[in-house]
Structures are given as structure tokens and as C-alpha cells.
Amino acid sequence: MATALIREIKKSDNAQVARVIRKVLVDLGVPKVGTAYADTALDHMYENYDVPRANYYVVEEDGEILGCAGIAQLENYEGNVCELQKMYFLEEARGKGLGAQMMSICLKKAREHGFEQCYLETMPFMKAAQKLYQKSGFNYIDAPMGNTGHFSCPVWMLKTLD
């Protein structure tokens, strides 16, 4: 993965990003309803993050997108909280430190945007992801924040940005 590059999404990445996310979700056995799989935004990621205080990144190697993640204002929430969104990596990109690099980039950008906290939702069986989130300073919380529409994601975590 020495040649892997993390960069901001381009409009031309939309179809490849949607395929990556859906493939990871199917591979992991995630429900298609109540998760990111059903989000209409998946087919228009560039446009959805081309708004103030939002960024989306891809990991690219040899022209192929291997993973992605972004941050944006937490939907349906009044506070100054962003959400780490749609962070997924194909199997061949896992375990190589790319997730930690992506996390660092997203959290740095969240701080630059002035967010006070970062929230995320995940699945109980995504243990490797949760380990990365905890290592990055996220803590488990007892209830969801905002209303993302991801009712099938019952694990919620929050990090205070300093």
C-alpha cells in the first residue's frame, strides 16, 4: 500500500465509491435497510459533500478506490457536532494503517471546521472498526444523537474534539 493516496473525492469518483461502500456492506452482511446501503446519497457522494463544513475522502491506489470516509454536520441535531460518515475499506486495504490515516485526516478537518464533537454509528460485529474508533478517542454512548435514519446501527460513539 506504499502507493496508496488519500485525497478528496472528485465527481468522477461517484460510481466507484458507491460500488466500494455497497460491496463492503454486502461482504460484512450488513442489513440493506436502515443502514448506509439504502442511502440515496451513495450514488452522489461528491455532490453531497460539496457543502460547507463537509469533506469526503477516498483512498486510491493505481486508479482504484479502496476505501473512503467523510465528515459532515450531524443530521437533525442542534449542537456543533459532526458525524464521521461512511468509512469503509475493501478487504485488501484493511490492516495496513489506512483507516488510522483516514481517521486522522477526517478529525483534523472536523477541528478546522470548528466542530466540538464527532459522532458515529456502527454495527456490533464491526469490532476492528470499533477498536480503531476507541484508539482514536471515541467512547461508547447509550443512545443515538440526531436522526441519521440508520436505525439498524445500534452502536453509537462520540469523541470530544480538542
CATH code at 102? Answer: 3.40.630.30
Answer yes or no: is 138 within a domain. Answer: no
CB-based contacts of 139: which residues, under 8 Å, 6+ apart? 157, 158, 159
pLDDT, residue 35, reads: 73
Answer yes or no: is 134 within a domain. Answer: no
pLDDT, residue 158, reads: 98
Which of 70, 86, 79, 82 has its CA nearest to residue 8? 70
Answer yes or no: is 59 within a domain. Answer: yes
Q: How far apart are the first and last CA of the chain?
A: 30
Answer yes or no: is 125 within a domain. Answer: no
Answer yes or no: is 11 within a domain. Answer: yes
Query: In angstroms, rounded to a whole number, what is the distance separating the alpha carbons of residues 116 and 102?
Result: 19
pLDDT digits (tens, 9 = 90+) for 103-145: 999 999 999 999 999 999 998 988 999 999 999 999 999 999 9
CB-based contacts of 155: which residues, under 8 Å, 6+ apart? 121, 122, 123, 124, 126, 130, 140
Which of 17, 24, 63, 10 has its CA nearest to residue 43? 17
- Whether the pLDDT of residue 2 is over 70: the answer is no
Answer yes or no: is 155 within a domain. Answer: no
Across the chain, how many H-helices and E-strands are there? 4, 7
What single DSSP character describes residue 142?
A: S
pLDDT digits (tens, 9 = 90+) for 90-104: 999 999 999 999 999
- Whether the pLDDT of residue 149 is over 50: the answer is yes
Query: In angstroms, rounded to a whole number, what is the distance separating the alpha carbons of residues 102 and 77?
Result: 24
The domain total for the chain is 1
> How does residue 1 score in pLDDT terms, banded at 50, 70 and 90?
very low
Q: Which residues constitute the domain of residue 10?
A: 5-116
Answer yes or no: is 94 within a domain. Answer: yes
Greater confidence (147 vs 7) lies with 7
Looking up cell 486510491, which residue turns up? 60
Average pLDDT over the chain, rounded to whole?
93
Answer yes or no: is 93 within a domain. Answer: yes
pLDDT, residue 28, reads: 86
